[in-house]
Structures are given as C-alpha cells and as structure tokens.
Amino acid sequence: MSRMLLLPGDGIGPEVLAQAERVIEALNRDFGLDVEVQSALLGGASIDTYGTPLTAETLAQAKASDVILMGSVGGPKWSDTPFDRRPEQGLLDLRKGLSLFANLRPAKCFAALTDSSTLKPEVVAGLDLVFVRELIGGVYFGEPRGIEALADGGRRGFNTQSYTDEEVRRVARTAFELARTRSSRLCSVDKSNVMEAGLLWREEVTMLGASDYPDVDLSHMYADNCAMQLVREPRQFDVILTDNLFGDLLSDAAAMLTGSLGMLPSAALGESGKSSLYEPIHGSAPDIAGKDLANPCATILSLAMALRHGLERPDLAERVESAVARALDEGYRTAELTGGSHRVGTAAMGQAIIARLHA
Ligand code: NAD
Ligand code: IPM
Ligand code: MN
C-alpha cells in the first residue's frame, strides 16, 4: 500500500484535482493500484482555516507520503498579504521542506492538438521535450531579499540570484541521467554572459558532463535565445536544463506549443526514495475558477508522472496517458482548446478520460 497526499489548493485547483482523484479511484478499483489517499489544505485554503499557507502538520503528512498531488495555489483574495504569508509561499515551503530540487516539466504535443497551438502545426507536430528546472534555489530563495526605505524617501526592492556548485551539480545530474534515457542530448540554459551565478552554472555543468557524462551531447544556450528558439524551432530540443526562474518562464511559454497551459504536468523530485510532488504547471486561474471550464489534463498527466516516478507503476502511467490521448483523438476538448467535436467542461473531460482507461 502506497500513500498519496492530495493538496487541492485554490481556484481551479480543487476542480482539476477532483478529476485526478476519480482517476485514482478507478485505478484502485479496476487496475490493481493500491494507493491510500489523504487530503490536506495548502495555500489560500490553508490561510483561511489555519492562518498559514502550510502548517507543520501538513508538511509532516507530506513527508510521510510516497507521493503528493497538488492542484494550484493563489488568487486575488490573498494578493495583498506579505510574502511570507501568501499562498505561493506554502508551495515554495513545501518544495523546500521536501528538498525537491529537480522539476521535470515535459512539453509534449499530442497528435490531436497539433492544430491547437498558436504556432503553425508543422512547427509543433510531434514535439516532445522536457525541462529540468532547478526548483529550490536561485533568485526564488536567495538572500538577501526585501524592500527597504532609502535615505531620499524612495524604496528599493531586491532579491539575490545565487547558486552553489553543489546545487547546480545535483540538478544537472538529474538532467544528464534523463538525457541518457532519451536521445542523449542536453541543452543547458543560463545567462552566463551577464551573471556570475550563470557563469558558475555553465562551468559546473560543463565539468560534470566531461567527467561523468561524456556520452551525452551537451550544448549551452543563453536564456533569451532559448525563448526565441522555442517558438522558432522547438523540436531542436530534447532535454533542457535550466534554473528556477528561467525554467518557470520558459515552461509556460512552451505550454502553448502543446495547445494550452492546461496540458503541462510536472514532477518535483528530490533524493530517490523520498516523497515527491506532482502538479500541473498552471496556476489557480481565477478568471475561470468555479465555472467548470478548467482543463484537467495537466493534473491527470501529473498523476501519470506520479505513477511512473513515485509509485513504480509505469504500466498505469501509460494507461492514463493513453486514455488522455484517446479522449483528445475522439474530439473531447475543454473550452480553451481549439478544434475537436465535443466541447466539454472539467468534469466531463475527466469522465471522458476515465471511460478510456479500459481501452
Ligand atoms: P494561471 O496559470 O493561473 O493562468 C494563466 C491563464 O491560463 C489564465 O487565463 C487561465 O485561465 C489559463 N489557464 C490556466 N490553467 C488552465 C487550465 N487548466 N485550463 C484552462 N485554462 C487555464 O496564471 P496567473 O493568472 O498568472 O496566476 C493566478 C494565480 O495562480 C496567482 O496567484 C499565481 O501566483 C498562482 N500560480 C500558482 C501556480 C501553482 O500553484 N503551481 C502556478 C502559477 C501561478
Ligand atoms: C509554478 C508557479 C510557482 C513558481 C509559484 C506559484 C510559486 O508559477 O509552479 O510554475 O513560480 O514556481
Ligand atoms: Mn509558473
């Protein structure tokens, strides 16, 4: 029996996670999955009940779980609170508290969605790349940070971009290992032309590649060029290794190559054998929350990643991914996706996927 913790969060989080939960129930019932599910509050929902976005109890519960599946956190209701008490801080503390340093964000264009991207079909057809985003370092966590008053009566906001050699090496190792299971090509993305932290990043990745992964074809790219190359010719990439902030930005941009932000799952991994966290890359989408409009695919595909990386059930991961592909092939689309023949809401999309688990 494995343990899974569900953290629905805020906005569309509970809506999309409810569909993933139905998939888990179906897998437990009909496909030999043996997962015990618990739920807890994270983000704004936790602030409203406990006054803090992540309680010590929830963090302990997460540590005691094999896998954690999250919806999304945040929203306008909490956007005026100080940083340390915002919903997003709960997620950052969860990632940090579990030492989840490597964030896999696959951007795959499903065949049925080739026409749904805002880019030309011939540019995105067959796209299949993975970001390995460093997740618990960089400017998100660097010190010093703050807002301070200036002598002239003005104010200064400041954050620190910072990486140690070991922080770079451990996430780079994940990316090299992943590249070996794919095409053995790895592109490391940085701003080593502008930042010392970027230069150290490039040097460490280069040294690790030369010493431990000479078989992997390593290249480097500046982050601004990478943003352009992703829309110019995205299929040149296989595995992209990058830092916390660049990975955040580039993965949202890459989501549109697949048709929608609502299609991209993610896996946050730390040391093997410890708990891992799975979440769609999108946010709480306040503009469509509560309307049965959200696409649950990213969350259901995140569940598939949990089955593959955390629960050692690659067979069930493939079953879930095939069910998503089939629902799309048969024309099921949530509102933000173009094309298709069955325009459905969040729950009906979940149902269409569950109905295809058996095929
Ligand atoms: P967002 O990702 O919530 O939404 C951006 C746009 O994409 C919106 O138009 C939204 O409707 C659409 N969208 C997102 N997910 C969708 C889905 N599954 N189906 C259909 N459309 C979808 O980004 P935002 O609006 O900038 O942020 C809203 C809140 O979410 C903020 O508080 C932000 O901090 C938070 N956020 C949380 C996470 C997370 O929990 N991992 C990620 C990103 C943003
Ligand atoms: C994401 C989100 C988070 C991030 C926020 C909500 C902390 O944008 O998971 O992509 O920036 O990492
Ligand atoms: Mn993001």
Closest ligand 1 atom to the C-alpha of 280? Answer: 41
Q: Among residues 186, 217, 220, which one has the least CA distance to residue 203? A: 220
pLDDT at 211: 98
pLDDT tens digits for range 258-291: 999 999 999 999 999 899 999 999 999 999 999 9
Average pLDDT on 305-332 reads 98
Q: Where are the beta strands (DSSP E) in 92-242?
A: 102-108, 128-134, 146-149, 155-158, 185-190, 217-222, 239-242
pLDDT at 83: 87
C-beta neighbour count of 153 within 10 angstroms: 6
pLDDT band at 314 (very low <50, low <70, confident <90, very high): very high
For the chain, domains (ranges, CATH) are: 1-104+262-359 (3.40.718.10), 117-135+162-258 (3.40.50)
Contacts of 191 (CB under 8 A, 6+ apart): 198, 222, 223, 224, 246
pLDDT at 356: 98
The reply, when asked if residue 83 is annotated as ligand binding, is yes
Percent of the chain scored above 70 by pLDDT? 100
pLDDT at 128: 98
* Closest residue CA from atom 32 of ligand 1: 74
Q: Is 281 in the pocket of ligand 2 (CB under 6 A)?
A: yes
Contacts of 235 (CB under 8 A, 6+ apart): 123, 124, 126, 127, 129
Q: Is 288 in the pocket of ligand 1 (CB under 6 A)?
A: yes
Length of the chain measured in residues: 359
pLDDT at 359: 78
Whether 90 shows a pLDDT value over 90: the answer reads yes
pLDDT tens digits for range 113-150: 999 999 999 999 999 999 999 999 999 999 999 999 99
Full-model pTM:
0.98
Whether 35 shows a pLDDT value over 90: the answer reads yes
* Residues within 5 A (CB) of ion ligand 3: 248
Complex ipTM: 0.99
Percent of the chain scored above 90 by pLDDT? 98
Q: Is 92 in the pocket of ligand 2 (CB under 6 A)?
A: yes
Q: Is 282 in the pocket of ligand 1 (CB under 6 A)?
A: yes
What are 132's strand-pairing partners?
104, 241
Active-site residue 140, yes or no? yes
The reply, when asked if residue 286 is annotated as ligand binding, is yes
* Closest residue CA from atom 38 of ligand 1: 283
Whether 84 shows a pLDDT value over 90: the answer reads no
What are 37's strand-pairing partners?
4
d(CA 27, CA 318): 12
